[in-house]
Each structure stands twice: as structure tokens, then as C-alpha cells.
Amino acid sequence: METLSVIKIGGNIIDNEASLSSFLKSFASTPGKKILVHGGGKLATKLASQLEIPQQLVDGRRITDADTLKVVTMVYAGYINKNIVARLQSHGCNSIGLCGADGNAIQAHKRNHPNVDYGFVGDIDIINVPLFKNLLSQDISIVMAPITHDKNGQLLNTNADTIAQEIAKGLAAHYDVSLIYSFEKAGVLLDANDNETVIRFLTPGYYSELKDKNLVFAGMLPKLDNAFVALDSGVTKVIIGQADQLEQLIAGNQGTTIINE
């Protein structure tokens, strides 16, 4: 089977010009089929605050009211997505930027949570496998923004780690898929502030222990929940690590590798 790398970049990388620039250069030179998934939560929060739209995150997920939906659509599906595509083109990496509504790439429904009203947040129903395969077969890399739609004209905000997981899972029957969560830290850390404490291999049991001790928290929770779902769904390799070590992460030489037992 052909290999496919689904690579997610974190918000702190997007926010840092030097890190973004070096990451995009490495992504462009990564061999094989590839999909880049980006968020941009940090920039959305900054812009919302300038517009005096209060923001609230629950378990790493943004409560998205109508005004916030406008902001995140402009930031993710507009500025960040198009900026990344233009810069990949400058490195000779032909790419196309999509949100979930483009080509009906990702259909979702508004989240229905028993205790929390998340507003316009989407839980994914289906990804458009033929669309992804078609673009990849033409050697076009896909740059995916974390905005989905419900097929009734409603855009929805969806966590970017979940988008990466669903794409990796949806394409696992067609490619040998590696899912890489790249961000500003060296991996899942025993001490979240110390890059020297990388956990090289993480099992579900160890993850539960770390959660009980509050050693993993905030955005790392949805990231790891998604990582384990991907591994259970036929994705070959799931790795979490530093964006400036992309080549080593893909090779499995750095970062945290998610394993079953």
C-alpha cells in the first residue's frame, strides 16, 4: 500500500514565524502523499479578544457562538489556510486548501452534549474518501482547515486534532497511514514544562495513570484521545512530537509513539 502522512501542526507553531517557516519547508520536502491539518486556536483567541468577543474552552474545545464562528471561519479557513498554501507553493509543493464544505470534504453535525452547550461545534459524520484520493493521486497535497459543514448550509467549528484523526482513520483502508501530531513540545512529557522528560511509548493504561495524576491536561487530552482512536481504527503509526523534528518523527526516532499495549 502507498504511504500517506497526515500531519497536524499546533497553534503555537502557526503563531511563531520562525517555527512555521521551518516546519513548512520540512513538510514540502517530506516524500510521499501528505495532508497537513492546521488549527490556529491561539490566533482566533487573540482576534476574538481584540473584537471583545469573550472566549471559553471546555476540555480543550472552544464554545462557539455565532460571532465566534465568524471569527474562526475567517481565521482558520481564510487567513491561515491560504497563507500556508501560498508558502507551500513557494517551496514547490503543489497544495490545495480546503475546509470541510469545499468538495463536501467533511460533513458533521452540531454537537449534542448532555451537559455543555458547545454552540456551533461539529462532530464528524463522514469524510469524502474519493475526493481525498483523487487529489492525492494527482500529487496535490491537501491543507485542511478545522471548519466542517452539516450539508444544510451551516458551518461548524471542529477541533483540529479530531479532523486529523478522522482523515487518518477514513483513509486507513486505502493507504499505509502515519498520523503525526506536531507541536512546540518534544512529545508527551512527564513534566509538561520539561522537554527532557519525553515519554517515548504511551499505552492506554499509562495514559489513564497520567490523567489521574493530572500530568496530562488541557489540549493534550483531546490530542491523546484522538491518538488512541486512530490507532484502534487501522492507522499504522501515531506519533506526537516537536514540529521542528518532522523528519525524525516520521521515522519514529523522536517524540512519543502511541501503542496499544
Ligand X SMILES: CC(=O)N[C@@H](CCC(=O)OP(=O)(O)O)C(=O)O
206 binds ligand ADP, rule: CB under 6 A: no
| Binding positions for ligand ADP, 59-78, rule CB under 6 A | 60
Min dist. Cβ of residue 134 to ligand ADP (A): 28
- Whether residue 198 contacts residue 189, with contact meaning beta carbons closer than 8 Å, is answered with yes
Q: Please give the span between the terminal C-alpha atoms of the chain, in angstroms, as a whole number.
A: 25
Residue 197 or 233 having the CB closest to ligand ADP: 197
Q: Residue 191 gets which letter from DSSP?
A: S
Residue-wise DSSP of 65-130: -HHHHHHHIIIIIIIIHHHHHHHHHHTT--EEEE-TTGGG-EEEEE---SS---BSBEEEEEE-HH
12 binds ligand ADP, rule: CB under 6 A: yes
Residue 120 or 207 having the CB closest to ligand ADP: 207
How far is the C-alpha of 44 from the C-alpha of 62, rounded, in Å? 10
- Report angle CA 244, 57, 144 to the nearest 5 degrees: 45
Comparing CA positions, the residue from 121, 145, 118 lying closest to residue 37 is: 145
- 241 known ligand binder: no
Min dist. Cβ of residue 161 to ligand ADP (A): 6
* Binder of residue 159, out of ligand X, ligand ADP, none (CB less than 5 to 8 A by kind): ligand X
Residue 135 or 143 having the CB closest to ligand ADP: 143
- Whether residue 158 contacts residue 124, with contact meaning beta carbons closer than 8 Å, is answered with yes
Grid coordinates belonging to 248: 525524525
Residue 108 or 210 having the CB closest to ligand X: 108
- 39 known ligand binder: no
* Binder of residue 170, out of ligand ADP, ligand X, none (CB less than 5 to 8 A by kind): none
Closest CB to ligand X belongs to which residue? 39
Binding footprint of ligand ADP on the chain (CB under 6 A): 10-12, 39, 41, 60, 183, 185, 188-189, 192, 215-220, 223
What are the binding residues for substrate? 40-41, 62, 157
